[in-house]
Amino acid sequence: MKKNRKRSVYMAIVIILLIVALVFLFSYRAYVHYSTWNKHHNYFKNPNQKIESWMSLRMISKGFSISIDEIFGVMGVNASINRNTALDRFCKEYRENCTELVERLNTLAGK
């Protein structure tokens, strides 16, 4: 009887520790995602904003008032690309020079 009681106490402690560890893990992940979102959200409050390689196509379109078709035209691709794709990822997948692409987009945006 005593062995079963000890075993159930140890199991309860292990389960509680696992739950606490998961809470800390998910809290940390939420904090990291929030800080990234906040940094991106506050970027457009900056008066000297320019298109950068970490931005998604949708963010560029909305933040700089450029139609997505114009962006695709400058990029030289069709409209089948996901609009949430970041420029640096696009450049890596399609072997484009990201610096030149960002410069062309900034020219299109008038920056």
All residues at 6 or more sequence positions from 69 whose CB lies less than 8 Å from its CB, including other chains: 79
pLDDT higher for 87 or 3?
87
Residue 111's pLDDT is what?
A: 66
* 8 pLDDT tier (thresholds 50, 70, 90): confident
The whole-model pTM stands at 0.63
Q: For the segment 19-71, what is each residue's pLDDT rounded down to a tens digit?
A: 999 999 999 999 998 988 888 778 878 788 888 888 888 888 888 888 888 88
Domain residue extents for the chain? 1-43, 57-109
